Amino acid sequence: MDKKLFRVFLLFNISCLFSALEQYFFFQTILLSQQMNIF
């Protein structure tokens, strides 16, 4: 595979992973705050 293409592919995967983690932590904090009745 071309090196430039591979780098773009890698960056895309990393950004997808980070957005998934962000959503996960976001939902976790929402669940936690609902359990603690903050909202």
**pLDDT tens digits, one per residue of 15-39:** 999 999 999 999 999 998 888 875 5
Q: What is the pLDDT of residue 38?
A: 58
Please identify which residue in the block is written with the tokens 């669940």.
Answer: 31
Give, as one character, the DSSP assignment of residue 29. H
Q: CA–CA distance from 33 to each of 7, 18, 30, 39 (Å)?
A: 39, 22, 5, 6
d(CA 22, CA 38): 21
The pLDDT assigned to 34 comes to: 86
pTM (2 decimals)?
0.58
pLDDT at 14 over 90: yes
Question: Taking residues 7-12, what's their average pLDDT?
Answer: 96
Q: Do residues 33 and 39 touch, judged by C-beta distance below 8 A?
A: yes
